[in-house]
Amino acid sequence: MVLNIRTMADYLAKGQMPEYLFWVGCAGSFDDRQKKVTRAFCEILQKAEISYAILGTEESCTGDPARRTGNEFLFQMQAMTNIEVLNMYQVKKIVTACPHCFNTLKNEYPSLGGTYDVIHHTELLAQLLKEGKIEIEEEREEIAFHDSCYLGRGNGIYEAPREIISELQKDLKELKSCRTKGLCCGAGGAQVFKEPEPGAMDVQVKRTEEIIESGVKKVAIACPFCMVMIQDGLNKTGHDKDIQVVDLAELVQKAMK
Amino acid sequence: MTYFFQFLFIALLASMSYLIAMRFKGIIATIRLSQPIQLSDQPAERWKRVFLLAFGQKKMFQKPFVGLMHFLIYIGFVLINAEILEIILDGILGTHRLFAPFLGSLYPLLLNFFELLAGGVFIACLVFFARRGIFKVQRLQPEKHSELKGFPIQDAYTILIIECVLMAALWTMNAADAILQSRAVEHYYEVGSFIVSRNLIPFLNAYSTETLYVMERVAWWFHIAGILGFALYVTYSKHLHIFFAFPAAYYSSLKSSAYIPSLSTVTHEVKLMLGQSVSGEAAPTSLRFGAKDVMDLNWKNLLDAYSCTECGRCTDQCPANQTGKLLSPRKIMMDTRDRLEEVGVILSKNKGEFVDDGQSLLDKISGEELRACTTCQACVEACPMELSPLNIILELRRYQIMEMSDAPAAWNSMFSNIETNQAPWKFNPSDRMNWTKS
């Protein structure tokens, strides 16, 4: 599919306003694996005829990793700069494929002057599927879902990802630790940007062991950092050939007619 | 003679009440040193939390068996203590079973009920004993979790023993009482024998009336002195949650567990740096970013530390702890409480003024522990009282990063990448849209 991606500046130049701002996020913009997820999500939006725009080069890190390390200065610098841009474009609705950007934009920007209606891409995808805006071809397969901390515990989004899997007529295999007890992938709190502290094993390996135990051939995630960590866990345990990690957007895009 | 015992009782009651009140005063004084936080919004929602989490123990029932056992102790504690009112009045007035004539046939019914509740408490305590000592539930083992070594594990067993002994005293008292009634001893009002303690009667019947009288009196005194002593002990113990669970539930955060509040001192500086208006905003008074010591934390953090009963569900669910890292969220709570107790001693020695002792909370919690946290909120989710070790960790991290500049090199690179490239990695910001092309 040829993607027709426009920026907020493009819209503004024509005096138009898209329904959604798609906040791509740093991983979605720069990480080679996650770029595929970003494109898959854009294909779905285009197919479902959702009007959306990105900020393009005007987008900047939300500041989430800085805030989680304790660097409140850097976080607030990022937040306030981003809020200036978002408010300038009079953004109302934001959709993002990153639970960390999602949490920051939704929960932490309001107190600094940036209040938007923020949804995660799994919520939008579940809604589009339920409304029949996306037609799919069934392909039955067993699939596990790994709950992201910032989606599940952080924001109570447990159902949307599962609804996507059931709308796609796939069989969900719940992992041993799931939903409120979902085990972290090990990336959060800016862990992904440094070596882990000394310990007996890596968190991602522990999480991956549960995925291996479940016996699935495919595990769905909904977070770019879970993607990195679970893939790393599979590589380290030698299961990178027999278990595939996919983002839910990729799953929908693949099933899309 | 009765006057002597009445006097003794009033002296005991008054002195213990005084000591307990002083302890609470000391605890509240340490909490008052803290930073402000607004947690009084949405009272209806907060009361709902008190009923669900504290009275209803909703989250305890996520483990149904343990939840039920805990509920037995809790309901026993609350209801049997209704009897204390009678005991206290008896003690002051020199009467015996003051309420019996007023309550008539309801009285034995109530006492039977209390005795059954006491049985529930006794059984639940034995179960908890077994879980710690025989079945070796991992999160309760000092061999697995070093923060439990020493006082904390002694404390845990002490509580269980005291509760069992208090219940035994209650039954002994009632059994001896029942025999004394049957022997028509003066003062022993005819109320009959009760459901649990009547099983002790055959063992006690052989004793003389004098011995039984002494036994009943000793059990009575032991029971009330035990309860008063226990109430004082509780203020030093992890068992303090029996009082603090209620305010902790009321003031628990209604926001997402992933939400981190903005540091207003930083907001002021950042606005100045970005040339935004700060008119009408007071310049920050606190010069410290983040928390080095307990008084830099907010009062809810400190209330949390006093409320924690060291059950270790947080540590059990912590991914860092599960993978052998130094971090234990329970230890964060215990260290905070330990530091608060130290601060309390300083306050009481210096007429309520805090005098710097050259120590701080960061002397107890290492950078390695703080850096191991993935901020996954599993600890907050696991806590039956919704206490937040995560909040404390994040405040300490703020101090560690902003005041001590103590960050691993990889984090410093990440910071400078965000500053110069607008992304945590070293990519050219003008390449941000490259993904649209391929």
Together in a domain, A158 and A105? no
**For chains A and B, what is the number of CB pairs under 8 angstroms?**
207
Q: Give the integer Cα–Cα distance in Å for B77 and B73.
A: 6
Residue A12 lies in a domain: yes
The pLDDT assigned to B288 comes to: 86
Domain range for residue A148? 137-255
Instruction: Identify whether the C-beta of residue A225 lies closer than 8 Å to the C-beta of residue A245.
Output: no
Question: What is A168-213 written as a DSSP string?
Answer: TT-EEE--SS-GGGPPP-S-TTTGGGSPPPS-SS-HHHHHHHHHHH
Residue B258: band (very low, low, confident or very high) from pLDDT cuts 50, 70, 90: very high
Instruction: Name the residue among A80, A108, A197 with its Cβ closest to that of B372.
Output: A197
Phi, psi of B387 (to 5 degrees): -75, 155
Give tens-digit pLDDT for B111-133.
999 999 999 999 999 999 999 99
Using the predicted structure, report yes or no on whether residue B1 has a pLDDT greater than 60: no
Residue A130 lies in a domain: no
Residue A73 lies in a domain: yes
Mean pLDDT of all residues in B346-364: 96
Q: How many residues does chain A have?
A: 257
Together in a domain, A14 and A120? yes
Residue A228: band (very low, low, confident or very high) from pLDDT cuts 50, 70, 90: very high
In sequence order, the 6+-apart residues with CB closer than 8 A to the CB of A98 are A23, A25, A27, A28, A223, A224, A225
Residue A154 DSSP code: T
Instruction: Name the residue among A5, A187, A199 with its Cβ closest to that of B324.
Output: A199
A64: domain CATH number is: 3.40.50.1860
Together in a domain, A116 and A147? no
The pLDDT assigned to B43 comes to: 96
Give how far the C-alpha of residue B74 lies from the chain's centroid of Cα atoms, to the nearest Å. Answer: 13
Q: Give the integer Cα–Cα distance in Å for B91 and B17.
A: 15
Together in a domain, A18 and A104? yes
Tokens at residue B33, please? Answer: 């040193």
Over B109-146, what HEC string results?
Answer: HHHHHHHHHHHHHHHHHHHHHHHHHCCCCHHHCCCCCH
Mean pLDDT of all residues in A121-127: 98
Residues B340-361 as b/e (b if ≥16 CB within 10 A, e otherwise) read bebbbebbeeeeeeeeeeeebb
**CA-wise closest residue to B214 among B179, B244, B247, B167:** B179
In one-letter notation, the amino acid at residue B227 is I
Residue of B38, B255, B260 to mutate for A, most A C-beta atoms under 10 A: B260
Together in a domain, A163 and A188? yes
Of A82, A101, A124, which marks where a domain is finished?
A124
Using the predicted structure, report yes or no on whether residue B2 has a pLDDT greater than 70: no
Pick the CATH number of B264-421 from 1.10.10, 3.40.50, 1.10.3470, 1.10.1060: 1.10.1060
Give tens-digit pLDDT for B61-82.
999 999 999 999 999 988 888 8
- Strand A117-120, strand A93-96: pairing: parallel
Together in a domain, A25 and A115? yes
The pLDDT assigned to A220 comes to: 98
Residue A165 lies in a domain: yes
The percentage of residues in chain B with a pLDDT greater than 70, rounded to a whole number, is 99
The pLDDT assigned to B286 comes to: 67
Mean pLDDT of all residues in B177-183: 92
Together in a domain, A171 and A233? yes
pTM of the model: 0.96
Together in a domain, A13 and A118? yes
Residue A246: band (very low, low, confident or very high) from pLDDT cuts 50, 70, 90: very high
Residue B193: band (very low, low, confident or very high) from pLDDT cuts 50, 70, 90: confident
The pLDDT assigned to A255 comes to: 96
Of A95, A124, A153, which marks where a domain is finished?
A124
The pLDDT assigned to A195 comes to: 97
Counted domains in chain A? 2
**Range with the lowest mean pLDDT among B41-50, B189-198, B294-303?**
B189-198
Question: What is A21-83 written as a DSSP string?
Answer: EEE-HHHHHH-HHHHHHHHHHHHHHHHTT--EEB-GGG----SHHHHHHT-HHHHHHHHHHHH
Using the predicted structure, report yes or no on whether residue B222 has a pLDDT greater than 70: yes
Residue A74 lies in a domain: yes
Using the predicted structure, report yes or no on whether residue B278 has a pLDDT greater than 90: no
Give tens-digit pLDDT for A178-199.
999 999 999 999 999 999 999 9
Together in a domain, A230 and A142? yes
In sequence order, the 6+-apart residues with CB closer than 8 A to the CB of A196 are A186, A202, A203, B325, B372
Contact list in A for residue B324 (CB cut-off 8 A) is 199-201
A107 and B256 within 8 Å at the Cβ level: the answer is yes
Of A96, A124, A152, which marks where a domain is finished?
A124
Together in a domain, A22 and A107? yes
Together in a domain, A147 and A74? no
Angle at A238 between CA A235 and CA A241, to 5 degrees: 80
Residue A164: band (very low, low, confident or very high) from pLDDT cuts 50, 70, 90: very high
Residue A106 lies in a domain: yes
Contact list in A for residue B267 (CB cut-off 8 A) is 76, 112
Together in a domain, A229 and A151? yes
Contact list in A for residue B275 (CB cut-off 8 A) is none
